[in-house]
Structure 1
Amino acid sequence: MTTADKLRAEGEARGEARGEVRGRAAMLIELLALKFGRLPDSAEGAIRGAGLEQLKVWAARVLTASSLDDVLA
């Protein structure tokens, strides 16, 4: 594998990871809106700016949270 091939593969992997995070963020926003109504822009911004691990934590909290603050705490 050439250096160019390695760099291309790394770039593709990073792009796929970013796409996964964006998809998970969009899904979390949709679930939260269904449960709690329209989200404040600040909450949407926090979700869209979060990393994969944080999104996983918040997604798990959706199941038991009684408020948006409980999820994002």
Structure 2
Amino acid sequence: MTLAERLRKEARMEGKLEGKLEGKLEGEVLGRHAVLRRQLGKRFGKDILDIRMQERLRCATAEQLDLWAERILDAHTLEDVFRE
């Protein structure tokens, strides 16, 4: 195997690993998103999220989702969950 072939093979393997990691992380975020939506629906009612809040959830980072999931435990209102 030539050096060029070996480098291409390593680059492909690295790309595959990066893709798998990205997919795993994206799946984790989607899972957190789904859990938080269920929690919010259970706590405040299924139709509580307006379009603006749904978009905020959709664009949230894993860290934001985790923070909001913790806040829901003590929140009295939806605004308590999402306060800045």
Q: TM-score scaled to structure 2, two decimals?
A: 0.81
1:53 aligns with 2:56: no
1:13-63 per-position Cα deviation (integer Å, ceiling 9, x unaligned): 001101110110111011001100122222121111100001110000000
1:43 and 1:7 mapped to 2: Cα distance? 35
Aligned equivalent of 2:4: none
Q: What residue ranges of structure 1 are gaps of 5+ in the alignment?
A: none
Match of 1:32 in 2: 40
Deviation, 1:67, is 0.5
Structure 2: gaps (5+ residues):
1-8
Amino acid at match of 2:42: L
SS at match of 1:2: helix
- TM-score with structure 1 setting the length: 0.93
Trace 1:1-73 onto structure 2 (pairs within 5 A). Answer: 2-37=10-45, 38=47, 39-73=49-83
Corresponding pairs, count: 73
Once superposed, which parts of structure 1, at least 4 consecutive aligned residues long, lie more than 3 Å away? none
Q: What is the aligned-residue identity percentage?
A: 37
Larger radius of gyration: 2
RMSD: 1.2
